Amino acid sequence: MTMRHLLLATFVAAVAWSPFDSAIAQDATAGAAVFKSQCSICHSVQEGRNMVGPSLFGIVGRKAGTIAGFHYSPANKDSGLTWDAATLDRYLTSPSTVVPHTIMTYAGLKDAQKRTDLIAYLSSLH
């Protein structure tokens, strides 16, 4: 594969992969259903209600590993991440790839539309 083909393939993959492309509409209501089916066993959306995982209330814009009183993995606390939409998208796709040694055992949400909807829902929690 030539460098030109490699660059073209990378560009096409990036465009096709981006959940924030205008071709993928965000639906917070659908995201609430995704949360319920994929996340609610470990996470709450109520402020201050931590479960196995920390509360996801106000997660968008929050620095990783910062809820007082929740036991985060050192990997998460030291990740330096701030949970914006793009970072959440990467993390929700494959948590252990974005934060190696995370204690979150979730394998990831591969469906880009579901991730986009979930992030829209999480963004509404503030």
Whether 92 maps to a domain, the answer reads yes
Residue 123 confidence (pLDDT) above 50: yes
* Number of domains the chain contains: 1
* C-alpha distance from residue 118 to each of 33, 82, 87, 98 (Å): 8, 17, 13, 18
Taking phi over 0 as left and psi of -120 to 50 as alpha, with beta for the rest, 108 belongs to left
Whether 15 maps to a domain, the answer reads no
Whether 9 maps to a domain, the answer reads no
Whether 110 maps to a domain, the answer reads yes
Whether 85 maps to a domain, the answer reads yes
Under 8 Å between Cβ of 107 and 123: no
Strand intervals (E) in 1-126: none
Whether 43 maps to a domain, the answer reads yes
Whether 57 maps to a domain, the answer reads yes
> The domain that contains 44 carries what CATH number?
1.10.760.10
pLDDT in tens, 2-25: 444 433 343 334 433 444 444 578
Domain carrying residue 58: 26-123
pLDDT in tens, 43-94: 999 999 999 999 999 999 999 999 999 999 999 999 999 999 999 999 999 9
Q: What is the pTM of this model?
A: 0.80
